[in-house]
Structure 1
Amino acid sequence: MGFRRFLAVLSARNLEFLRDRSALSWNIVLPVLIVFGFAFAFSTGGQTLFKVGLFGQPQQAPGIERFLRLKHIQFIPVESIASAIPKVERHQLDMLLETASGSYWINDQSANGYLLEQLLAGGENRFHKQTVSGEAIRYVDWLIPGVLGMNIMFSALFGVGYVIVRYRKNGVLKRLKATPITAFEFLSAQVASRLWLIVAVTTLVYAGTNLLVGFRMNGSYLTLFLVLVIGTFSMICLSLIIAARLSSEETANGLLNMISWPMMLLSGVWFSLEGSPEIIRQLAQVFPLTHMIDAARAVMIDGAGLLDIVPHLLILLAMSALFMTFGARSFKWE
């Protein structure tokens, strides 16, 4: 009987969403417009700021003080040479400097790399040149995980959290309380309904835009799909915290915006946090959206396998368990 009640609520929620044509259309049209807008705007791949990866301490290589003081160059500390070289190959870094060994890497097809090499050679110190090659990564390739992640975030938070608050305000939950359905069955149905809908819409949007834009994909589609499912589940569970006890739509809307906007700004949706202050990068790690986007980009751009992104997936699952537990235990019908 419990499973039948679950299916009844699940079916009712699915029909409610599918009949809301405006919400369904918006979930599909918005990410498509953003993807094509950025694909057109950044089709030339032009950049006005040089990016130089710096491995080691500047004082280890005297003679480059003048180079380090040049304007319009962003020096980004890197943790390892092995992980930074692929970024030079993809033109994400224009140059990589290793101060200890006196070596630098540039892409032989990068105009920015050539210019930086000439600026570096003007100093007193002479570095050992090493070249790499590789196709530049388009901004739209880097952007697509962030755009879809942002769309998932808003669909999950407002599609579950805000809707349940509306149910409570309109007395729907009060009437459901008089039925045999339990809080766990009701919440599970809400989560399951939104989960498959978001996954289906996101898959459709990605597949459709990929046919026209042709996104870079160096990893496994199955691994990427796993990131989509776990990341979406985590975002839906987060919405249960807001939905647990609130009965005011205005308060729920404010809290959902208070959660979603900082998450969107600090999770790397529009720009990379490389070179940002350490406190900002650490703060970003508390958001599930950060781990979902980082895992998706690792699969698509770096060709990461399942084992490479396990830390992100485990964090998302741990967050989901925490959010779900808090939301279920504090849930009230009225």
Structure 2
Amino acid sequence: MLAVFRARNTEFFRDRSTFTWNLLFPFLLLLGFYYIFGQAQPMYKVGVLSEQDGYISRPVFMATKHIQFIPYGDLERGLAPLARHQIDLLIDIDRAQYWVNEESRKGYMAEQILAVRDPDFNRTVIRGSAIRYVDWVLPGIIGMNIMFSALFGVGYAIVRYRKNGVLKRLNATPLTALEFIGGQLMSRIVMVVIVGLVLLLGARFLLSTLMLGSLALLVLTMFMGALALVSLGLLVAARLRSEEFTGGLLNMTTWPMMGLSEVWFSLEGAPHLVHQISQLMPLTHLVQALRAIMVDGAGFVAISDHLAVLALMSAIFLAIGSMTFSWAADGR
């Protein structure tokens, strides 16, 4: 046992990529979340409509501590996040009017603070069905499940095949790289779409979650998102032979997407740079498209930009992954 213990430690330290990654990744993760969430987070988020400086015209309420004020250009853009519980209150400085979602507990508390600090505002309740958190978060959970199944189901499996010599033996058969990659991709895509539908139907049956859009469009969106994420998994695993290092790279890929793709929480009010980075992630476009279909009843035109980005990402990842793909563990 001691000999095995020593051998495994020696193997770990000699694998410089894995050793370095195990030391580096936690620090990268810590620094990233410090930048995004390191400052004191506000207790409430209030959207503001105003053509003038609200800190001058309404200094009492606007000076309230622990409230983040988020400017919006027009009423429609402000009502949408209010309905989804992404903000807690929406106020119009110029017209002394505010909107509240009565289903929001934080909205209720923000309204009480406004009533005490500045009682001149007139109250308006937003119309339409209230959106529960479970309705808002379900598309994120479906997208997250697709991401993990796609990346680890393809990337990790291919590296294991390469390390065990399976790919090298397959290379001696009439099977081409395109046929092998195509079979792997299609198998995983079909499976993750089926699992996503099971999750959707199960949540619909147990929790009566919202599904306002087209089921066919939802399946198409799942397919496009799975294709982009599976292609990303192929890109990561195109030449790697270390399972430990592959796991580290896949974690580096999945964790930022979980934090920045609005899976669990909204990025409303986050720094502009965070939003820009988020738009570079395939999971962001998948989750936003799924949420638009399920929660808003959006049609094809409304989510076409997300589908186009996913298609473009898939093409880029597939092209690079196919060109750099290696059958053998020695990189040939």
- TM class by shorter chain equals 0.7 to 0.9
Structure 2 Cα separation of the partners of residues 112 and 257 of structure 1:
33
> Contact 2:85 / 2:133 at 8 angstroms: preserved in 1?
no
Given that residues 236 and 249 in structure 2 are in contact (C-alpha distance below 8 angstroms), is that contact kept between their aligned partners in structure 1? yes
Cα root mean square deviation, aligned = 2.4
Which piece of structure 1 moves more, 130-139 or 251-260? Answer: 130-139
Matched residues in 1 for 2:99 and 2:270: separation?
A: 23
Name 1:167's counterpart in structure 2.
Answer: 161
Q: Give the CA deviation at 1:136.
A: 2.9
- Is 1:155 the counterpart of 2:170 in the alignment? no
Corresponding residue of 2:264: 270
* Structure 2: tracts of 5 or more residues without a match: 1-41
CA positional deviation for 1:96: 1.3
What CA distance in whole angstroms lies between the structure 2 residues aligned with 1:67 and 1:123? Answer: 5
Partners of 2:278 and 2:87 in 1: CA distance? 22
**AA partner of residue 65 (structure 1):** P
Contact in 1 for aligned 2:86/2:266 (Cα 8 Å): no
* Whole-Å separation in 2 of the counterparts to 1:111 and 1:257: 35
SS in 1 for 2:57: coil
How far, CA to CA, are the matches of 1:202 and 1:112 in structure 2? Answer: 31
Which amino acid in structure 2 is aligned with residue 76 of structure 1? I
Equivalent in the alignment of 1:317? 311
Aligned residue for 2:45, secondary structure, equals: strand
CA distance in 1, matches of 2:311, 2:86: 30
Shift in CA distance, 98/182, structure 1 to aligned 2, threshold 3 Å: same
In the alignment, which of 237, 240, 248 is matched to residue 243 of structure 1? Answer: 237
Q: In the comparison of the two structures, how many residue pairs are matched?
A: 287
Correspondent of 2:294 among 286, 294, 300: 300
The one of 73, 78, 89 aligned to 2:72: 78
- Alignment correspondent of 1:192: 186
Partners of 2:103 and 2:323 in 1: CA distance: 58
Matched, 1:53 2:50: no
**Does structure 1 retain, via aligned residues, the 8 Å contact 2:160–2:241?**
yes
Q: CA deviation at 1:105?
A: 2.4
Where does 1:1-80 land on structure 2 (aligned, <5 Å)? 49-56=43-50, 59=53, 62-80=56-74
Change (3 A) 1:150 1:111: closer
The separation in 2 between residues aligned to 1:138 and 1:105, in whole angstroms, is 17
Aligned partner of 1:222 among 216, 219, 239: 216
Alpha-carbon distance in 2 for matches of 1:221, 1:193 = 21
8 A contact 1:92–1:136 mirrored in 2 = no
TM-score (norm 1): 0.78
Quick one: which of 312, 317, 327 aligns to 2:321?
327
Conserved? CA contact 1:54–1:75, under 8 Å: yes
Question: Deviation of residue 254 (structure 1)?
Answer: 1.1
State whether residues 101 and 130 of structure 2, in contact with CA within 8 Å, keep that contact through their aligned partners in structure 1: no
User: 2:198 matched to which residue of 1?
Assistant: 204
Contact 2:257 2:281 in 1 (8 A): yes
Shift of 1:94: 3.2
Contact 2:60–2:118 (CA under 8 A) maintained in structure 1: no
Q: Which residue, 206, 212, 226 being the options, matches 1:232? A: 226
CA contact (8 A) 1:91 1:136 kept: no
Q: What amino acid sits opposite 1:154 in the alignment?
A: F
SS at structure 2 position matched to 1:297: helix
Give how far 1:207 is off.
Answer: 1.0
Determine the C-alpha separation between the residues in 1 that align with 2:110 and 2:308: 40
Deviates most, 64-73 or 50-59: 50-59
Cα distance between partner residues in 2 of 1:140 and 1:250: 35
Instruction: Find the counterpart in structure 2 of residue 96 from structure 1.
Output: 90
Q: Which runs of 5+ in 1 are unaligned?
A: 1-47
Distance 1:128 1:277 in 2: 31
Comparing 77-86 and 155-164, the one that deviates more: 77-86
Q: Match for residue 257 of structure 1?
A: 251
What is the deviation of 1:84? 2.0
Relative distance call for 1:122 and 1:210 in structure 2 (3 A) is closer
* Aligned equivalents of 2:84, 2:242: Cα separation in 1: 49
AA partner of residue 62 (structure 1): I
Q: Secondary structure at the match of 1:186?
A: helix
Matched, 1:146 2:140: yes
